[in-house]
Amino acid sequence: MIRKLLVANRAEIARRIFRTCRALGIETVAVFAEETDPHVREADTAVGIGSFLDGAAIIEAARRSGADAIHPGYGFLSENAEFAHAVTAAGLIWIGPAPDAIEAMGDKIRAKKLVSAAGVPVLDGDDAFPLLIKAAAGGGGRGMRVVTEPGELRPALAAAAAEARSAFGDGTVFTEPYLPNARHVEVQVLGDRHGRIWVVGDRDCSVQRRHQKIVEEAPAPGLSSEVRAALHRHARAAAETVGYQNAGTVEFLVDGERIFFLEMNTRLQVEHPVTEAVSDLDLVAWQIAIAEGRELPAEPPAPAGHAVEVRLYAEDPAAGFAPQTGRLRAFGFEAPGVRVDSGVEAGSEVGVRYDAMLAKIISYGPDRASAIRLLADALRRGVLHGLTTNLGLLRAILADEDFVAGRVDTALLERKLAAWTGESEDHPVRKAALAAAVGSAVRTAASAGVQARIPAAWRNVPSRERVRTYRCGGTEYAVGYASRGGRIESSWLPGVSVLSVTADRVVLDDHGVRETYRVTAVDGGADVHGPSGSYDFQAVPIFQDPAANLAAGSLLASMPGLVVAVHVSEGDQVAAGDPIVVLEAMKMQQTLSASADGVVASVTAEVGRQVAAGEVLAVIDSGS
């Protein structure tokens, strides 16, 4: 039996595996590159390493700490057959499938051939557009491109190969027909060392951005009994082709009644909690049990109820999902009926080195409608300050009538992104801005070193209100308020009055409805949490910084990241749409292109240099 287990991973998946190990009485070992990561504190012991991709360092950490088993989590080395071989060669127990199975399914081209021979339907043909370019060696949306016209194919292949090479060390890519309105449905499998394979239900993962999932649920809604049975049958056949052991997932596209194999992930999936919720299984516990040689019972438990998971990312959906960095000032989503698997906590610093996912938030209910309502409420009540995230987008998805009705496909987000991220009814945020302003006024008055007896918000021109200007989500709010008769009042929002104010608590009356807001001062601005959720308000300076005036034609970094390619030199002639600089952050690449025809006046970007969001990388003189 396993006595001490090292998790060759970080963040939420490391913490989740540690939780099961504690329940089983297994000692835990963390590995880390940053000592401040929360998962380091939750392990019994920890060993520093330079990189989570350094297999030799991880095995050495296991040796030094006395671990007798390694769990790879997902990402990093979890689907690296060479690492799995090295672990077993070192006399350690590998918590995962046999290296041969990893190798067979890790190459998507080879995997399609294997399962096709077993009667599993696959997507074939590359002579009709649109096409999808995919990396043969990886997943997670990296190295994927949709091509709609023949002229786009060559540059898209080059870009996809470059991203795949950077992410997986293998630039091999392939194409297959792209079905934009199909659903992404996957089947969880477990196999033991005795030849028994469980099919543990299905999940729908159709709501995606950049071909990466952000909402998952189990079971997949709206499937006919025939399609569901066929999915389970094909998943079993795929697992049997490689004599699969441990946890794995077989992914399919479902287009009406048609089913096509996509790939098999030879590891635990990010979205495994929804299957755990409806099956009442601990999949990590079973991974460990299988690695110890335990036999699966004859049949898995029948699923019951419904579960929905959302992935909370540090990114700005309204800005092309650009990664965001910074320090989380507050973080918490705990609620009844909701599970939170997080890799961060209040005070965590989020950088560009790793994936942008902060947490998974999972709800479970007796039916789909109940699970959606629980999750939507948890997101509304959740407190998050300090970073731009996709929280607003997730809330919009859960409220969308098509999603609620189960009408989902892989193009749903693309079709509705503008509506989900656009300027919605801003009355809630305006009330929060009012709370920020009046709370700040009271706080400023209380801390005044002189004239402390002057009422908050008082001014010697009583006919005019004071004004504080904040920025929230790209919109500026100039909030007016005044002190009258010892009370703070505001005419800024008709029908909304200020009932009471302290430095950290504001009560408003909105047409007879009383609402309470918590206010925290932050660098001249404020973090506000109220009935409609959390808002970060940054103070807008009265006078503009002259440095903010940029030269015409400046190409700015759209996100903090690493410069991985520079395609131009000073003096080059470029056309609108030509690639100029490629940035990489949080495992994703973004190409910055010329916005107009012109001549490159200057280039400051250098390959290998880390740049900040908004930094000037090049200037293009358009002659206008």
- Flag whether 601 is in a domain: yes
- Please state, rounded to an integer, the average pLDDT across all residues of the chain: 91
Nearest to 249 by CA among 228, 263, 259: 263
Domain check: are 234 and 359 in the same one?
Answer: yes
Q: Any idea which of 62-71, 98-107, 539-548 has the lowest mean pLDDT?
A: 539-548
User: What digits encode the pLDDT tens for the residues 55-87?
Assistant: 999 999 999 999 999 999 999 999 999 999 999
User: What digits encode the pLDDT tens for the residues 371-402?
Assistant: 999 999 999 999 999 999 999 999 999 999 99
User: What digits encode the pLDDT tens for the residues 181-221?
Assistant: 999 999 999 999 999 999 999 999 999 998 899 999 999 99
User: Residue 372 carries which side chain, given as an amino acid letter?
Assistant: I
Look up tokens 């009644």; give the residue: 257
- Flag whether 586 is in a domain: yes
Residue 544: per-residue pLDDT: 53
Q: Could you give the CA distance from residue 458 to residue 26 in angstroms, rounded to a whole number? A: 63
Domain check: are 402 and 433 in the same one?
Answer: no
Domain check: are 324 and 303 in the same one?
Answer: yes
Residue spans of alpha helices (H) in 366-462: 368-381, 391-399, 401-404, 412-421, 427-446
**Strands annotated E in 557-624:** 561-566, 573-574, 579-585, 588-593, 598-603, 610-611, 616-621
| Domain boundary residue, one of 505, 523, 539 | 539
Domain check: are 153 and 242 in the same one?
Answer: no
Residue 547: per-residue pLDDT: 45
| Domain boundary residue, one of 137, 162, 178 | 178
Residue 135: per-residue pLDDT: 85
Q: Could you give the CA distance from residue 504 to residue 441 in angstroms, rounded to a whole number? A: 11
| Domain boundary residue, one of 522, 539, 556 | 539
- Flag whether 35 is in a domain: yes
Residue 546: per-residue pLDDT: 47
Decide if pLDDT at 159 tops 60: yes
The overall pTM is greater than 0.75: yes
Residue 357: per-residue pLDDT: 95
Report, as an integer, the average pLDDT of 125-150.
81
Q: Three-state SS across 159-204?
A: HHHHHHHHHHCCCCEEEEECCCCCEEEEEEEEECCCCCEEEEEEEE
Q: Could you give the CA distance from residue 348 to residue 324 in angstroms, rounded to a whole number? A: 13
Domain holding 372: CATH number? 3.30.470.20
- Flag whether 259 is in a domain: yes
Domain holding 451: CATH number? 3.30.700
Residue 149: per-residue pLDDT: 86
Q: Which two tokens stand for residue 407?
A: 């009408």
Q: Three-state SS across 7-24?
A: ECCCHHHHHHHHHHHHHH
Q: Could you give the CA distance from residue 69 to residue 292 in angstroms, rounded to a whole number? A: 10
Q: Any idea which of 144-158, 166-180, 594-608 has the lowest mean pLDDT?
A: 166-180
Domain holding 27: CATH number? 3.40.50.20
Domain check: are 551 and 500 in the same one?
Answer: no
Residues paired with residue 187 on neighbouring β-strands, in sequence order:
202, 250
User: What digits encode the pLDDT tens for the residues 433-471?
Assistant: 999 999 999 988 886 555 555 555 544 445 578 999 999
Report, as an integer, the average pLDDT of 286-296.
98
Q: Which two tokens stand for residue 174?
A: 């392939």
Q: Which two tokens stand for residue 54?
A: 């350094």
Query: Which residues have C-beta within 8 Å of that of residue 360, sequence separation ≥ 6?
Result: 12, 270, 271, 273, 309, 310, 311, 312, 340, 341, 342
User: What digits encode the pLDDT tens for the residues 249-283?
Assistant: 999 999 999 999 999 999 999 999 999 999 999 99
Q: If pLDDT is split at 50, 70 and 90, which confidence band does 410 have?
A: very high
Q: Could you give the CA distance from residue 103 to residue 97 in angstroms, rounded to a whole number? A: 10
- Flag whether 342 is in a domain: yes
Report, as an integer, the average pLDDT of 527-542.
92
Name the residue range of residue 158's domain.
124-178
Residue 141: per-residue pLDDT: 75
Q: Would you put residue 224 in left (φ > 0), alpha (ψ -120 to 50) or beta?
A: beta
- Flag whether 365 is in a domain: yes
Residue 460: per-residue pLDDT: 47
- Flag whether 224 is in a domain: yes
Q: Any idea which of 25-29, 225-229, 583-587 has the lowest mean pLDDT?
A: 583-587
Domain check: are 76 and 136 in the same one?
Answer: no
More confident residue, 164 or 420: 420
Q: Could you give the CA distance from residue 61 to residue 584 in angstroms, rounded to a whole number? A: 29
Domain holding 129: CATH number? 3.30.1490.20
Domain check: are 135 and 212 in the same one?
Answer: no
- Flag whether 116 is in a domain: no
Domain check: are 128 and 90 in the same one?
Answer: no
More confident residue, 13 or 125: 13
Domain check: are 135 and 215 in the same one?
Answer: no
Query: How many folded domains does the chain comprise?
Result: 5
Domain check: are 534 and 561 in the same one?
Answer: no
Domain check: are 173 and 184 in the same one?
Answer: no
Decide if pLDDT at 558 tops 80: no
Instruction: Output helix, strand, coil percentages for the chain, rounded to the nearest 5.
Output: 30, 35, 40
* Cβ(360)–Cβ(215) below 8 Å: no
Residue 624: per-residue pLDDT: 61
More confident residue, 183 or 164: 183
Report, as an integer, the average pLDDT of 571-575.
91
User: Residue 473 carries which side chain, given as an amino acid letter?
Assistant: G
Domain check: are 415 and 445 in the same one?
Answer: no
Q: What percent of the chain is predicted at pLDDT more than 70? A: 94
